[in-house]
């Protein structure tokens, strides 16, 4: 990979596809996408939104409200389903594991829309690949 951030939907989705390909080539444990803190509201309270991908699983942490938005988004992606919800006792929020039986392009669409809709980010948010 030669670039690690993008700000338009098309560029972010291409970046996600490239990161998934690099992740698979390297056989790394996972790849992580993170929002530039300047793009997100309430970072000090909720932290920086992130999504991980590994072996057909999309993983994210969210609040209960964000979980409802995530469920709504998943309805638009028939090949995706929630596999597991974990509510740790020592942390607020929910860890969501979504199985993604789809190609990298469809996964990229889901991840990009999840950042916009689940985490309520503006259309021009900056996405970073922070771990491969």
Q: Read off the pLDDT of residues 111-120 as tens digits, 9 standing for 90 and up.
A: 999 999 999 9
Residue 21: the pLDDT is 94
Q: Tens digits of per-residue pLDDT, 24-52?
A: 999 999 999 999 887 776 655 557 899 99
Which of 38, 30, 31, 32 minimizes the C-alpha distance to 7? 38
Mean pLDDT over the full length of the chain: 91
pLDDT of residue 50: 94
A 10 A CB-CB count for 10 gives 9
39 DSSP assignment: G
pLDDT-derived band at 9 (thresholds 50, 70, 90) equals: very high
Q: Greater confidence, 39 or 63?
A: 63
List alpha helices for the chain, DSSP H.
9-26, 43-46, 64-74, 104-113
Across 41-70, average pLDDT? 86
Within its chain, how far is the Cα of 24 from the centroid?
17
According to the model, what pLDDT value does residue 48 have? 83
With tokens 């970073």, the residue in question is 128
- Please give the Cα distance from 18 to 104 (Å, whole number): 9
The mean pLDDT value for 86-110 works out to: 93
**Spatial separation of the C-alpha atoms in residues 60 and 78, rounded to whole Å:** 19
Average pLDDT score over residue span 102-107: 96
* 11-33 mean pLDDT: 94
């Amino acid at each position: 990979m030669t670039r690690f951030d993008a700000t338009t939907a098309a560029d972010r989705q291409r970046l996600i596809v490239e990161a998934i390909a690099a992740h698979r080539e390297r056989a790394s444990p996972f790849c992580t996408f993170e929002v530039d803190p300047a793009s997100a509201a309430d970072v000090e309270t909720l932290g920086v939104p992130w999504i991980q991908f590994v072996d057909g699983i999309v993983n994210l942490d969210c609040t209960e409200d964000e979980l409802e938005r995530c469920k709504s988004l998943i309805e638009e992606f028939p090949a995706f389903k929630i596999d597991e919800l974990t509510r740790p006792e020592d942390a607020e929020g929910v860890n969501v594991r979504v199985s993604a039986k789809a190609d990298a392009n469809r996964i990229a669409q889901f991840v990009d829309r999840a950042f916009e809709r689940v985490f309520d980010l503006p259309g021009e948010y900056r996405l970073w690949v922070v771990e491969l």
